[in-house]
Each structure stands twice: as structure tokens, then as C-alpha cells.
A and B are shown apart, each in its own frame.
Chain A
Amino acid sequence: MNINRNIAISDTGFVFDPSSGDSYSLNPVGTEIIQLLKKQKTIEEIQVEIVSKYEVDDVQLEKDIIDFILTLEQYNLIENNE
């Protein structure tokens, strides 16, 4: 799973896709997840990282991360190579 080439992600959570001109604003957790995806982390690794920082139920978190990734895919921001 890779963040599409050229996608610009700022520290504030602003995401810009230069091929479509679309931009998106992420909340802080979304920003953290997308930064971890950019570092080529797996879903499991992302889960471990988020659980260590936030009080969250494992099952709920996995569901939320998958939902989030599906949304990124829908907007052509990531390619799922898995």
C-alpha cells in the first residue's frame, strides 16, 4: 500500500493531489495515519502506534483504519498493492 506519488501532505493535515487539483483536510489522527502510511508502515504497525498513544479499542481502531484507507483509495490517494 503506497501513498500515490506526488501527493503533498503538510504537517497541518492538508493533502493536495496535484494530478486532480483536489485537496483535503485531515484531522490530527488522520494526519498521523497518513504520515505512517507514507513511511510504508503496515496496518498492524499503524495500529500498534496509535494504540500506544490513544485510549482506543483494538477492534474499533482496526475498523476505523480500514475505513480510512478505503476512503483514501476511493479518492485515488493510495494504491493498494497488497
Chain B
Amino acid sequence: MSKRKLTIAVTGLNNTDNPGPGIPVIRGLRDSEEFEVRIIGLAYENLEPGIYMHDIVDKTYQIPYPSAGTEVLLARLEYINSIEKIDVLIPNFDAELNTFMRSADKLKKMGIRTFLPTLEQYEERHKSVLPEYGEKYDVRVPKSKAIFNASDIYSLNDDFTYPVMVKGKFYDAFIAYNTEQVKMHFNKISSKWGLPVIIQEFVKGVEVNVVALGDGKGNVVGAVPMRKQFITDKGKAWAGITLKDDKMLEQTQKIFSATKWRGGMELELIKTNDGKYYLIEINPRLPAWVYLAVGAGQNLPEALVKLALGEDVKPYENYQVGKLFIRYSYDLICDIAEFEQLSTFGEL
């Protein structure tokens, strides 16, 4: 059977020590039995490694940062689409999702399909409103508080006992053992990611995650639980293993049924020693470890593309337990001419 040819644009080519999901998403698509994909990389910075991985990414275009505004981004995408005729676009950064969600209709008019959560779904799962989310959907979450001002730090003692987690609204999380450390992390995080900064109760236990895909009708198309086996100093999984954990899958199903989540998601949970699960974060996209799910038998990037194309997807029911991923670093050797080409013309 000949494979369908599709052109798919993907962001998140920053396959660094804090990796974006772009490259693993593409690897899933390239493993597809149904599609033959041409991959268009969309890069913000000119040293995102994926730009130079020519066996993974066919062509890369630089795109403007979300802060440049939606119109500028759409104009750039219109130009790229006039050349590449993109079928599906998969954004992979939390910080850009809002822009792409707001632009979904305009992109569709250009012939570019996406499969993203609704704005309401996206907004209500923010870290800053996690307590409300927990209450609304009956999910156990750690106590947390969004703070907008450094002076609020001094009143934390009323509500929290140390240590606490200090988190940025998009990325970064640090543990703080006293007021001074909270202050230091608050300044660092707020200057990088803006406000609010979230203070969260520290829950002791094992960090476990689920990668899942929702069809927007309340069904889980696929879900794979994983435990981080090796964590970098940035808190990123550098190795992980698939788990057999029915409670995590039930929790995922419960959240998807209640929210009718549309698109990829990563649930971050803490499993305490007495077997309780605390939801600490919901990332509104496929995570950088999604290729583990592909390796365990669930090609979620492929399923996401089919959903974006409006096709029915049979939910995955199984995956292999005990599959490991182990990340590694690798030096790409590139000629300066490639860097010059991208930096000068914005495409490579």
C-alpha cells in the first residue's frame, strides 16, 4: 500500500538539555505506516539543533516570536505555506500555543489544519489556577497560590510550611527552603516568564507522568504512563520507563471525559509513599518524551495528525510496559554556510 504524502510543519526543534517535543514528534511521524511526511521545521532561534538534522527535518523556516504579534506570525506562515502547502501544523511550545489557538481558523482558511485545545481548556489548566481546576474536576492537587508581588512572599508562612515549590507560569520549578530562597527564585522566574509566579506545596513522592491524546469529545485516543528514571538539574527526564498503572490511566480518563480535552497533553503527578496521586501540572501538548509512547506501541503524533485531518482514530488500548528511553547528547557538525543561510535568509 502506498503511503499518503503529507506536509507537516512542526515547532520545538530545540533538542537541547531542555528539549522541545519537535524532534520526537517528527520521529513518530516518520515511523508512520500510513504517511510519508515532508517535515517543515519552524524555528525561533538559529541554533535549534533540529534545523541542522537534515534526515529528520526537510526544510526549516524561522518564524517570529509570539511576542511579535499574531499578524506578523500569520504573514510569515502565509509566505511559508505559499511555498510548502502545509497540511498540518503541530505547535510544541506552551508559550506559543495561545497564538496558534487564536489563529486556528485563519490557518484553516489557508489549508493548514491544527488539533489544539480550546482556549477555555487551555486557560483553566494553568498552574496559577490549579486549585480551582482540582476542585472543579475532583482531582487531588497540592495547595498552591499565584503571587504577583514580591511582598506577598512574606505572608506565605501563613499558608505554607517549607519547603515549597516556586514555579514559572510556563516553565521552571525550584524548591525553596525559606523566604529568602523564594525571593531569589521569584525574581529569577518573573524576569524570565513574567507574572504570576506560583508557590506550590511540596509533595514528597515519586514523579510520574502520563502522555495522552484526547479527541475533543471526551475520549482518550492513547495514554502511556511513565516514571522518570534520571532527572537533569533542570528537572527534565533524561531516562524513563513505561509503567503499568491503572490508577494513572483512570485519572487521565476522568480528566479527559470531564474536560473533553482536544489534542496532546502531559499530566505531571506525584505518587506519594502511601499511594496517593497529586496532579502538579498539566502541559497542553505532547511532551518531549512522546517517542517513548511511540516505542511502546502508541504512535500519538500520527494519531494527532489524523485527528487534525478530521479522520476517525481508533483508540489505542495497549502499550508495552517496561519500555525505557535513554536520552543522549550528540554533536552535529555543520558548515558555517548553513548557519549563514538560516541567519541571512531565515530558511534552510
CA distance A18 to B321 in the complex (A): 7
CB <8 Å contact, B244 and A6: yes
CB distance from A2 to the nearest CB of B (A): 17
Interface residues as binary, A3-21 with B (CB distance below 8 Å gives 1, 0 otherwise): 0001010000000101111
Residue of B nearest to A8 (CB): B322
CB <8 Å contact, B244 and A16: no
CA distance A8 to B206 in the complex (A): 21
B244 to chain A: which residues have CB within 8 Å? 6, 18-19
Interface residues as binary, B314-327 with A (CB distance below 8 Å gives 1, 0 otherwise): 00000001100000
**Within residues 8 to 43 of chain A, which ones have a CB less than 8 A from any CB in chain B?**
8, 16, 18-21
CA distance A19 to B248 in the complex (A): 10
Q: Does B241 contact A (CB under 8 A)?
A: yes
CB distance from B191 to the nearest CB of A (A): 36
Interface residues as binary, B202-233 with A (CB distance below 8 Å gives 1, 0 otherwise): 00001000000000000000000011010000
CB distance from B261 to the nearest CB of A (A): 25
CB <8 Å contact, A20 and B206: yes
CB distance from A42 to the nearest CB of B (A): 28
Residue of A nearest to B229 (CB): A21
CA distance A15 to B226 in the complex (A): 18
CA distance A6 to B242 in the complex (A): 14
CA distance A16 to B322 in the complex (A): 8
CA distance A8 to B226 in the complex (A): 17
Q: Does B172 contact A (CB under 8 A)?
A: no
CB distance from B296 to the nearest CB of A (A): 12
A8 to chain B: which residues have CB within 8 Å? 322
- Given B226, B229, B240, B243, which contacts A19 in the complex, CB threshold below 8 Å? B243
CB distance from A52 to the nearest CB of B (A): 34
Q: Does B132 contact A (CB under 8 A)?
A: no
Interface residues as binary, A37-62 with B (CB distance below 8 Å gives 1, 0 otherwise): 00000000000000000000000000
B321 to chain A: which residues have CB within 8 Å? 18
A21 to chain B: which residues have CB within 8 Å? 226-227, 229, 240-243
CB <8 Å contact, B322 and A20: no
A18 to chain B: which residues have CB within 8 Å? 243-244, 321-322
CA distance A14 to B347 in the complex (A): 50
Q: Does B33 contact A (CB under 8 A)?
A: no
Q: Does B245 contact A (CB under 8 A)?
A: yes
Instruction: List the 9 closest A-B pairs by CB distance, nearest first.
Output: A21-B227, A18-B244, A21-B241, A18-B321, A21-B243, A19-B245, A19-B244, A16-B322, A18-B322
A residues neighboring B (CB under 8 Å): 6, 8, 16, 18-21
A18-B321, A18-B322, A21-B229 known, 6 other contacts, Cβ within 8 Å: A8-B322, A16-B322, A18-B244, A19-B243, A19-B244, A21-B241
A-B contact pairs, 20 of them (CB 8 A): A6-B244, A8-B322, A16-B322, A18-B243, A18-B244, A18-B321, A18-B322, A19-B243, A19-B244, A19-B245, A20-B206, A20-B227, A20-B243, A21-B226, A21-B227, A21-B229, A21-B240, A21-B241, A21-B242, A21-B243
